[in-house]
């Protein structure tokens, strides 16, 4: 599903000095895998996830998504990929304020070119355990509930790939644990999932762990997690 080769990402600071966030990164992720990306702050996890999620483009190297080399895609082409192939979950939930849970889930459907299916959005809310909360405004929901809404939103256009950047980072451990549990279930339903995380406990849910240090893949290991099987 994902083939990354000799990927490099260099940012330019405001004063023009270059910062290399990723260097010579190469790996593959097969469809159906559940992968965590772990590493210290500033090691390049978000940079990598943003490129995988087609929010950003690599400075050099190639990135193939489902067989397509998307490294040179235009902004518009990447927008279409994000719309149909990728679901994003963020640390700070990033729900639209002054908007109901249901409306938030529907947002990706606005851009898919298809009719907005309200029943599907409601079903997704039910799937993440918020059947009763569709009409609630975001501000009336707890952090854990907001993150569930965000996950339902990420699933709205049925993307094969689900990306989460520290999805439990802003939650207490119980809520965080239940979010990870939900992601594990979604993986079991056949989705490919990549989760960026700081901590090892979260990483333990996944079948594979990538460790990044200073922009380099320092370790790539399979693990037999309690709930995750590696379909290989």
Which residues would be at the binding site for Mg ion (CB under 5 A)? 46
Shortest distance (Å) from residue 226 CB to another protein: 31
**Which of 46/100 has CB closer to Mg ion?**
46
* Binding partner of residue 229 among ligand ATP, Mg ion, another protein, none, CB cut-off 5 to 8 Å per kind: none
Which residues would be at the binding site for another protein (CB under 8 A)? 50, 53, 55-56, 75-76, 79-80, 82-84, 88, 90-92, 94-99, 103, 107-108, 110-112, 116, 153-154, 156-157
Shortest distance (Å) from residue 76 CB to Mg ion: 26
**For 225, what's the count of Cα atoms within 13 Å in the CB-facing half-sphere?**
26
Helices (H), the chain: 45-52, 75-84, 101-110, 118-127, 143-154, 173-188, 200-203
Shortest distance (Å) from residue 21 CB to ligand ATP: 3
- Taking the alpha carbons at both ends of the chain, their separation in whole angstroms is 13
Which residues would be at the binding site for ligand ATP (CB under 6 A)? 11, 13, 19, 21, 39, 41-47
Residue pair 161/86 in contact (Cβ under 8 Å)? The answer is: yes
- How far is it, in rounded angstroms, from Cα 128 to Cα 151? 8
State whether the Cα torsion 94-137-118-123 is positive or negative.
Answer: positive
* Binding partner of residue 41 among another protein, ligand ATP, Mg ion, none, CB cut-off 5 to 8 Å per kind: ligand ATP
């Amino acid at each position: 599903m994902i083939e990354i080769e000799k990927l490099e990402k260099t940012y330019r600071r405001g004063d023009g000095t270059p910062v290399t966030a990723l260097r010579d990164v190469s790996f593959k992720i097969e469809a159906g895998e559940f992968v965590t990306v772990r590493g210290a702050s500033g090691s390049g996890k978000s940079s990598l996830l943003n490129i995988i999620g087609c929010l950003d483009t690599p400075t050099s190297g190639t990135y193939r998504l489902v067989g397509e080399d998307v490294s040179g895609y235009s902004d518009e082409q990447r927008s279409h990929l994000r719309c149909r192939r990728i679901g994003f979950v963020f640390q700070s939930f990033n729900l639209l304020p002054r908007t109901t849970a249901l409306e938030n889930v529907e947002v990706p459907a606005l851009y898919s070119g298809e009719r907005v299916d309200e029943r599907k959005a409601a079903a997704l809310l039910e799937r993440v355990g918020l059947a009763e909360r569709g009409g609630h405004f975001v501000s009336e929901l707890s952090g854990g509930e907001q993150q569930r809404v965000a996950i339902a939103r990420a699933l709205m256009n049925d993307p094969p790939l689900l990306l989460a950047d520290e999805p439990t980072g802003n939650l207490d451990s119980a809520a965080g644990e239940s979010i990870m549990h939900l992601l594990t279930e979604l993986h079991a339903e056949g989705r490919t999932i990549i989760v960026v995380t700081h901590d090892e406990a979260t990483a333990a849910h996944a079948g594979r762990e990538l460790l990044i240090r200073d922009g380099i893949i320092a370790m790539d290991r399979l693990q037999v997690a309690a709930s995750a099987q590696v379909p290989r």
